[in-house]
Structure 1
């Protein structure tokens, strides 16, 4: 049961529900200073579907900034954030499910070594209320839910969410569009 479901089951609605959902501040809600670093590589999740089951694997290549698909990360011109994963401000990203927000972007470690990023602004109403919740993005203002690709999972999330690409070498994380 999610926090939202629990509070609704207790009878909270409207502004009282929103006040409770946004009243707690977690250590992972910290800000990370963006750094200008280069020479990173991409950690790319790939999903393989066999019958009714699917599995996700991660591949990482560290060869002078070249990713597994041959892209030189030093040539990425549309960087949005560069995060030093060793910094104390990025400590939440060291655990699966941990997330941080910086410059209007939510960055999370979705599975071991795999990072995801999306805009913090909800598409339902333009409020910076998006957070990472275990396996999805969630808007604390209206309950909009989005999968990791940005696709809406309920009526409030029907417009989708802008997601970004991520690249890492294990020490530095780059978010780009």
Structure 2
């Protein structure tokens, strides 16, 4: 997925999209070479580690998942300050295997976006403290008063102007961590 496609999938358009696309000063910031998950469960591609800036190319074996952005179990276990851990192999969370599917767990909405990546946000709306935020039509939506938020948490209408707290998400294909 190119950087342009990623930013478009996150809801950026017009001047905001152009500002983000032209803000890059390093060649390696211009695109993301995401991992590809093959039917046998192996992944191939080039990944860049943010902490060290090193690049690793090769093949690793993971469980097949519908979502892109799979990391190793070792990397997943290094994540601290987790808000939530979800067992993706459990039938309880089968909705997370379908693009557009979402679940609400412990005050967090977790979804598989149209960009085929896992995303998460608080279930509490900033308009009024109603616990009714869901994932709908590739955005966060509060069913109480119609507040709309981009996938990055920015308000998309008057009721959503207060923004929404979104969380980082990581998975190894079996476990999903929200932090």
Match of 1:19 in 2: none
Match of 2:157 in 1: 154
Q: Distance in 1 between matches of 2:105 and 2:169?
A: 14
Distance 1:113 1:58, change over 3 A: farther
Instruction: Please tell me whether the aligned partners of residues 124 and 131 of structure 2 are also in contact (alpha carbons under 8 angstroms).
Output: yes
TM-score normalized with structure 1 length: 0.63
Runs in 1 of length 4+ with deviation above 3 angstroms? 60-63, 70-73
Match of 2:4 in 1: 48
| Bigger relative CO (Cα 8 Å, ≥ 6 apart) | 1
Q: Distance in 1 between matches of 2:94 and 2:136?
A: 17
Q: Secondary structure at the match of 2:94?
A: helix
Q: Secondary structure at the match of 1:48?
A: helix
Match of 1:122 in 2: 125
Match of 1:29 in 2: none
Instruction: Please tell me whether the aligned partners of residues 107 and 118 of structure 1 are also in contact (alpha carbons under 8 angstroms).
Output: yes
Shift of 1:175: 0.6
Correspondence 1:169 to 2:172? yes
Where do 5+ consecutive residues of structure 2 fail to align?
A: 6-13, 22-30, 37-41, 52-74
- 1:123-142 matches, cutoff 5 A: 123-142=126-145
Instruction: Please tell me whether the aligned partners of residues 126 and 162 of structure 2 are also in contact (alpha carbons under 8 angstroms).
Output: yes
Where do 5+ consecutive residues of structure 1 fail to align?
A: 1-44
- 1 or 2, which has the higher strand percentage? 1
Q: Distance in 2 between matches of 1:164 and 1:86?
A: 22
TM-score normalized with structure 2 length: 0.62
Shift of 1:57: 6.2
Instruction: Please tell me whether the aligned partners of residues 59 and 68 of structure 1 are also in contact (alpha carbons under 8 angstroms).
Output: no
Match of 1:38 in 2: none
